[in-house]
Amino acid sequence: MPQIIADVIFLHDRGKYQTLYFAIYFGSLSIGPVIAGSMAERFGWRSFWWFNTGLLILTLVLNIALLPETRFARKTQPRPTSASSPSVEEPETKSSSVVDHSENASQQPQDPWLSRGHPSVKQFRPWGSYQGSLLQELWLPWYLHAFPIVEFAAFVVSFSASGFLVANLTQQQYFGAPPYNFTTQEVGFTNFAIFAGSMIGLLTSGPLSDWIANYFTKRNRGIREPEMRLITMLPYTLAMIIGLVVVAVGYTRLWPWKVIVIIGYTLLGMQVTSLPSIASTYAVDSYKPATGAIFIAITINKNLWGYGVGKFITPWTLEAGYLVPIMTLMALITFFCSFGILFWYCGKYFRGLTRNSFLHQLDS
């Protein structure tokens, strides 16, 4: 989906749609436990897994049948040069006639497909001609880990998602025990707060990052730099810090569940939609032709760290309590997000180091 966004969405709207992608992504992960809790309590836990299997099959069919091909090599045509073009010594004599201006404009070469494009059956075929190297597609995501901007985006996405994952993995362990004694369904309902936070992030972070980038673009005489949206990470990094502190301290001191859920979980939902979208959009703005490989590299990093959190968070909390693991995670997320300051000042330098890379010609 990020590849499609990069293909069909204009630069000034890319942040909104990238945030929409992450809002649907993590929003569905927060709604899943709501459905799972109710189904497990009424019909047994296996019922939800069969329901999930059906949804995956439906999604696969929709992707095969309804997802169009959006990749298109936009080859630029050289402008024809006229022998009678004006020189420096002989400036062109401008006519005051409006008719002459319109006639001259009509003689300029134009794209024959301009304003005539429409969807075709060919776009929706489940197969198509492949342009490129399959071997290159396999090693390119690993190669991108050597790019500082891509690595920054990968770690921000990975650790921000881990903040959401900690809440998701500890809620049953915590709220199912005294003094709360929540049922499986009630534990699932706490994820409504995470979903609400992700919707707040959807409505704020995408438009805000685009607006800030457009504002700095105007101040920069119309020249867009990818780093211009990075400052938008600041309020959502603060939201992440507050959310994890509330959850960690609330878990440790047995705060009322309303404080932990309404404040802590909501802020975690807000940051998990916002921080990944801003950081990943920065990477896409920097290396747009490699968007697909960028998100594969991000996913490799995210899934590896997610596996570690899922495997070790429960025994760690049983041994050390909730405060130390969650505060450690908060410090790590803050550490990686703070690299946004470095790229705000030095991002152009890092992009300059890779200016001759073949990545910039992948679309041609």
Does residue 7 lie within any of the structural domains? yes
Q: Check whether 86 has a pLDDT greater than 70.
A: no
Range of 292's domain?
Answer: 2-69+133-361
Q: What is the band of 105 on the pLDDT scale with cuts at 50, 70, 90?
A: very low
- List CB contacts of 321: < 8 A, sequence separation 6 or more: 252
| Residues 148-173, mean pLDDT to the nearest whole number | 93
Answer yes or no: is 119 within a domain: no
Which of the pair, 90 or 277, is modelled with greater confidence?
A: 277
Predicted local confidence at residue 77, as pLDDT: 56
Kindly state the DSSP code that residue 145 receives in the 8-state scheme.
G
Rounded mean pLDDT of 186-200?
Answer: 94
335, pLDDT greater than 80: yes
Interval 340-347 mean pLDDT: 94
Would residue 308 count as lying in a domain? yes
Number of domains forming the structure of the chain: 1
Residue 92 to residue 364: CA distance in whole angstroms:
35
* CA count, 13 A, side-chain hemisphere, 270: 24
The span from the CA of 227 to the CA of 213, in Å, is 8
Cα–Cα nearest to 26, from 211, 340, 302, 229: 302
For the segment 1-46, what is each residue's pLDDT rounded down to a tens digit? 777 777 777 777 788 888 888 888 898 888 988 998 889 888 888 9
Residue 331 lies in a domain: yes
Residue 280 lies in a domain: yes
Tell me if 209 is assigned to some domain: yes
Helix axes 191-219, 14-43, angle to 10 degrees: 180
For position 268, what pLDDT does the model report?
95
Over residues 323-345, the mean pLDDT reads: 95
Q: By C-alpha distance, which of 96, 116, 289, 267 is closest to 197? A: 267
- The predicted model gives 255-274 an average pLDDT of 95
Higher pLDDT, 209 or 124: 209
Residue 232 has pLDDT above 80, yes or no: yes
- Region of poorest pLDDT, from 9-23, 135-149, 212-226: 9-23
In this structure, the number of other CB atoms found within 10 A of the CB of residue 113 comes to: 7
pLDDT band at 277 (very low <50, low <70, confident <90, very high): very high
Does residue 109 fall inside a structural domain?
no
- Percent of the chain at pLDDT > 70 equals 84
Judge whether 108 lies within some domain: no
Average pLDDT over residues 70-92: 54
The two structure tokens encoding residue 80: 């024809």
Work out the number of other CB atoms within 10 angstroms of the CB of residue 121: 7
pLDDT band per the 50, 70, 90 thresholds, residue 319: very high
Task: Supply the pTM of this predicted model.
Answer: 0.82
Please state, rounded to an integer, the average pLDDT across all residues of the chain: 85
Q: Residue 267 belongs to a domain with what CATH number?
A: 1.20.1250
CA 237 vs. chain centroid, Å, equals 16
pLDDT at 278 exceeding the cut of 70: yes
pLDDT at position 5 is 79
pLDDT at 267: 97
Q: Among the listed ranges 76-90, 107-121, 142-156, 221-235, which one has the minimum average pLDDT value?
A: 76-90
